[in-house]
Structure 1
Amino acid sequence: MKNNIQPKTDYLRLYGELKSERATWLPAWKDLCAYLAPTRGFFDGQTPNQGRRLDHKTLLDSDPCLAVEILSAGMMSGLTSPARSWFDLGLAPRELSDAPGVREWLTEVKKRLEDAFAASNVYSTLHMFYQEIAVFGTAAFLLEEDPQKGIRCRPFTIGEYCLGTDSLGRVNRFGREFFLTVPQMREAFGLENLPPSLLVSSAPNRYHKIIHLILPNKDYSRECLDNRRMPYLSVYLTESGHLLRQSGYREFPVIAARWEVKHAADAYGRGPGWKCLGDVKMLQKMQKAKLVALDKNTNPPVMVSANVQGEVNLLPGGITRYNGTTDAAVKPAYQVQADLSSLENAISSVRSTVRAQFFADVFLMLSAQNYSNMTAAEVAERHQEKMLVLGPVLERLKNELLDPLIDRAFALLYRQGFLPPAPESVQGLKMKVEYVSLIARAQKAAGLSSLVQGINYAATLTAANPQVGERVDYNRALEEGLNALGVAPALLKNSEK
């Protein structure tokens, strides 16, 4: 087979193209980082273990950062909670899932996937993922195999990676810069793969930039799946273009999601942070104005008589001596009458707007609601109404986060032997993932009311004409209703029983 592997200069050119596409997004990301996520982001040639000074003159009000934390915690508990089951496995058509031995196999696979997620750093990575996508509109992490725990994640922050999309708008290219010392490079890539110039370096602990690219492989071959003929090519380069390692992936290993995209060709998304950045800047300015007003009220500017002897003592009980009998030695330069209550009301209004943009009111209102005079059904319905606000976001995250995460994790664990072999009756079939998280159940339960209304209407007609009731499949209605509520199908007996 002819070797069509691209020369090293092409890799640098491709990475340069990805960086050029990203360049127009950097100013907005830096602005968002300064006002909403001061501990996130990797810009302007930063290196590891390099602290960044926080601008507390800008961040006078921490409420926007708290709103981000509430949203990320709410998304974590609503979509991928480590404390409860958030997905089920099945086969299409559904009847295949009830075949002998298949349901037990699906249950065991789900349990081992959940165990692998809990044992690895998946959930801690997802929490950072939700923070990033809420503020910047884009988030990504790398999912690779781990010999001990099966899988492990490498989280990224905005500014340290680049993305590219295919003709359908799906992310299929990835590039990043990271830094290693010479001893770390020797451990990661082997001594024989390092450039000679680094081996004679007089500063072995100095950081060197490494470029990592993941691209669709032009040399992909189904017949020869060695690590250089896999569907996706992975290359590591030095900044000068020296090839450190070349390998491949069977699946695209980067889980990258966008909150929403303005155009299908956009590689990066926009999130709630983009919409409320102006409000956040206004809030910080209003807080600064309030502090200045308070300062002038408690310590107003003063005028000092020319007859004052020595320095003016403005401390409580302080004495200032002056020569004169009529004019006051020290008096306010002007009267400060700041309307602090109106200013505080305006600040509260802006805070509410910011919290609404980050859906913080959706999550916090549920805990603050008084349920003493409500039935359990009414509480559940109120809970579902609040969660439905995040419905459109769930659809995109399902396609760009949840589905790729489970597919990639399943493939990695299966190839390493962490999963039981599939029964012969289902080998080669595509697995179906059903999401049963809090937000997913709220979406499904919204259609339950129409189902109940239809059954009640049929019951009313049955009282007048018993033949109407014979046309209603109550068993199927029971299955659909339980599925909408997120109840496990294992609770139902099969037709033979």
Structure 2
Amino acid sequence: MTDNKLANKVVNRLGQLKAARKPHEKVWKECFDYSFPVRGVGIDDTFSTTDDIQRKKSRLFDSTLTDAAKTQASAIISGLTPANALWFGLTVNEANEEEARWLDQSANTIWRNIHNANFDSAAYEGMLDLMAAGWFALYIDQDQKEGGFNFQLWPLATVYCDSTRADGVIDIVYRCYELTAEQVVNTFEEASEKIKKQAEREPNAKLKLIHAIYPRNDGKVGEKAEKMPIASVHVLENDKELLRESGYNEMPVVVPRWMLIPQSVYTISPVSDALPDAKTLNEIKKLELANADLAISGMWIAEDDGVLNPRTITVGARKIIVANSVDSMKPLQSGANFNVSFTQCEQLQAAIRKIMLADQLQPKDSPAMTATEVNMRQQLIRQLLGPIYGRMQSEYLQPLIDRCFGIAFRAGILGDPPESLPDKFIGIKYVSPLARAQKFEEVTAIQNFVAMTMQSAQVNQEVLDNIDFDKAARFTGEALGVPSEIIRPEQDVTELRQARAEAQAKAQADAMANQALQTGADEFAKAGGQHMAQQVAENG
């Protein structure tokens, strides 16, 4: 395909993607306006200034929805990708000791490099977008200057998505962005002479660019950039000029989604469910503040008595009002009932927190919980976030780890894998708090079963044969997130038991030998005593 044809194809496809996204933008914009106004800048093709954003924030008279969305975003992050604990591992079927060691070391290296980069800040802002719009786009690449990973959260206003797959998983991402003419020349060596001359005349002139990422049907992993499985094309939008064609070995953009809109790759968000209550609450708060102003400053009724002119009078501190009579001016009751307002606001705030799961996810202001209460709370969190975790795992965690593993492996920081490993499929196991919560019910069942069996064993010891205590202990430890360094490998356990059995057998053999020697000595001593007694009797 020639450069002009490819550039025209990208520009035309962008027009189609914009048209497909347009019907959903109004809802996203409204959700952002009532939760995080700054993050919704540009969604409706209007890029607001700082003053515009501040004015939008000033029109929010209640922050319940914002706080609840932040609470749920934080809970999902701490449940999916905590920075203080390893939240994934790598595994293969029937891994030997060498393979398991390399996989564990690789997972730990990737995890440390992810959180040593800017992942935590980008992921949090992405979760805020997920709360308001129901999706976000996180770009993952290698830091060309400092090394390690580089995470970029692309503004939703600039990203357009589609899918070539039957299951609707997003694999086409177009990003619109701007660079100055000087930046274009410095970034793309393939820039035309026209752009270079413009950079000399107007270095700060803004140019619109398109970054198109989509799958190549004939692409292969490990090939040169133009033949990789994922295409990367940069185009100058207005001039339809191809600036660069390259590629990726893995999809570099992860696009997690909340709840799909039928017949669309886009989604709705949890904020959209709470939006009606948030709008009503905001109006009530607005009226409440207006009536509070009346309650503080008061409302008056005045009579034009020839001396007092109500049209020019100003009520305030240290002011003297001249009138014919004290009855010419009186305070007027507003008739406002703040109790109704307070009750309605409390009900709406509670409804918003319930929809956003903030009342369940946020720690309670109460004394320390018992073990039973902790178990019940974890079960509740698992039930609430379980469906969310399934989609986050397939559309967020898996492509994120795949991309980071590919970058780290090609950079050589994982070391050489065992010779037997390249022929095996490397899978991902999730050990995050939310993944462990999925297994918590099984852990509880194991604990209850073992406890009941131990009680029955007091009557009949043979019932203990029904439990494989090794598997029960290992499963429970892994499900509770016990560090792998604490749990001995099965081979080490076998060797430890063999050594213990040999030591016990040796100790038993030594004890038997000592007992035999002692018995012989006693018999010899006894026989010697009898012989001496006989001699004494004969010589008597």
Name the structure with the higher helix share: 2
Indicate the residue corresponding to 1:176 in structure 2. Answer: 175
Deviates more, 1:291-300 or 1:403-412: 291-300
- Deviation readout 1:269-307 (Å, 9 max, x if unpaired): 222111001111011001011112212222344333222
Indicate the residue corresponding to 1:250 in structure 2. Answer: 249
* Correspondence 1:404 to 2:403: no
Q: Which amino acid counterpart does residue 304 of structure 1 have in structure 2?
A: A
Equivalent residue runs for 1:33-432 within 5 Å: 33-41=32-40, 42-45=42-45, 52-54=52-54, 55-91=56-92, 93=93, 95-96=94-95, 99-147=96-144, 148-165=146-163, 166-190=165-189, 192-194=190-192, 196=194, 199-200=197-198, 202-221=201-220, 225-240=223-238, 241-263=240-262, 265-306=263-304, 307-309=306-308, 311-322=312-323, 324-325=324-325, 328-332=327-331, 334-364=332-362, 366-371=363-368, 374-375=369-370, 377-388=371-382, 389-432=384-427
Residues 308 and 329 in structure 1, CA contact (< 8 A), matched pair in contact too = no
Structure 2 CA distance for partners of 1:25 and 1:344, relative to 1, 3 Å? same
Structure 2 CA distance for partners of 1:100 and 1:7, relative to 1, 3 Å? closer
Q: Which amino acid counterpart does residue 107 of structure 2 have in structure 1?
A: K
Determine the C-alpha separation between the residues in 2 that align with 1:483 and 1:111: 16
- Deviation readout 1:233-252 (Å, 9 max, x if unpaired): 11111122111111111111
Secondary structure, in 3 states, of the residue corresponding to 1:368?
coil
Give the structure-1-normalised TM-score.
Answer: 0.90
Alpha-carbon RMSD: 2.5
Q: Which amino acid counterpart does residue 385 of structure 1 have in structure 2?
A: Q
Q: Which amino acid counterpart does residue 126 of structure 2 have in structure 1?
A: F
Structure 2 CA distance for partners of 1:47 and 1:305, relative to 1, 3 Å? closer
* Correspondence 1:475 to 2:475: no
Secondary structure, in 3 states, of the residue corresponding to 2:140?
strand
Displacement after TM superposition at 1:432 (Å): 2.5
Displacement after TM superposition at 1:403 (Å): 1.0
- Deviation readout 1:387-446 (Å, 9 max, x if unpaired): 212111111101111111111100011011121221112223222322222222222112
Determine the C-alpha separation between the residues in 2 that align with 1:20 and 1:72: 30
Secondary structure, in 3 states, of the residue corresponding to 1:105?
helix
Structure 2 CA distance for partners of 1:300 and 1:418, relative to 1, 3 Å? same
Determine the C-alpha separation between the residues in 2 that align with 1:363 and 1:114: 26
Q: Which amino acid counterpart does residue 248 of structure 2 have in structure 1?
A: Y
Residues 4 and 219 in structure 1, CA contact (< 8 A), matched pair in contact too = no
Residues 73 and 127 in structure 1, CA contact (< 8 A), matched pair in contact too = yes
Residues 29 and 158 in structure 1, CA contact (< 8 A), matched pair in contact too = no
Residues 37 and 57 in structure 2, CA contact (< 8 A), matched pair in contact too = no
Secondary structure, in 3 states, of the residue corresponding to 1:314?
coil
Structure 2 CA distance for partners of 1:4 and 1:181, relative to 1, 3 Å? closer
- Deviation readout 1:459-486 (Å, 9 max, x if unpaired): 4555555444324322112222222212
Displacement after TM superposition at 1:457 (Å): 4.3
Determine the C-alpha separation between the residues in 1 that align with 2:19 and 2:193: 27
- Deviation readout 1:112-151 (Å, 9 max, x if unpaired): 1122112211111111111110111111111111233321
Secondary structure, in 3 states, of the residue corresponding to 2:282?
helix
Residues 185 and 194 in structure 1, CA contact (< 8 A), matched pair in contact too = no
Determine the C-alpha separation between the residues in 2 that align with 1:363 and 1:286: 27
Displacement after TM superposition at 1:169 (Å): 1.2
Residues 132 and 271 in structure 2, CA contact (< 8 A), matched pair in contact too = yes
Q: Which amino acid counterpart does residue 90 of structure 2 have in structure 1?
A: L
Give the structure-2-normalised TM-score.
Answer: 0.83
- Count, aligned residues: 482
Q: Which amino acid counterpart does residue 204 of structure 2 have in structure 1?
A: N
- Deviation readout 1:356-389 (Å, 9 max, x if unpaired): 222222232x252321xx54x3353144134212
Unaligned runs of 5+ in 2: 497-540
Secondary structure, in 3 states, of the residue corresponding to 2:330?
strand
Secondary structure, in 3 states, of the residue corresponding to 1:247?
strand
Determine the C-alpha separation between the residues in 1 that align with 2:65 and 2:28: 16
Indicate the residue corresponding to 2:510 in structure 1. Answer: none
Q: Which amino acid counterpart does residue 441 of structure 2 have in structure 1?
A: A
Unaligned runs of 5+ in 1: none
Among 433, 439, 457, the residue aligned to 1:438: 433
Determine the C-alpha separation between the residues in 2 that align with 1:395 and 1:189: 40
- Deviation readout 1:73-92 (Å, 9 max, x if unpaired): 2222222111222222322x
Secondary structure, in 3 states, of the residue corresponding to 2:74?
helix
Secondary structure, in 3 states, of the residue corresponding to 1:321?
coil
Determine the C-alpha separation between the residues in 1 that align with 2:281 and 2:49: 32
Structure 2 CA distance for partners of 1:261 and 1:394, relative to 1, 3 Å? same
Structure 2 CA distance for partners of 1:288 and 1:52, relative to 1, 3 Å? closer
Q: Which amino acid counterpart does residue 112 of structure 1 have in structure 2?
A: T
Displacement after TM superposition at 1:7 (Å): 3.0
Q: Which amino acid counterpart does residue 160 of structure 1 have in structure 2?
A: T
Residues 47 and 179 in structure 1, CA contact (< 8 A), matched pair in contact too = no
Determine the C-alpha separation between the residues in 1 that align with 2:264 and 2:298: 53
Deviates more, 1:171-180 or 1:457-466: 457-466
Q: Which amino acid counterpart does residue 131 of structure 2 have in structure 1?
A: A
Deviates more, 1:198-207 or 1:145-154: 198-207
Indicate the residue corresponding to 2:449 in structure 1. Answer: 454
Residues 462 and 469 in structure 1, CA contact (< 8 A), matched pair in contact too = yes
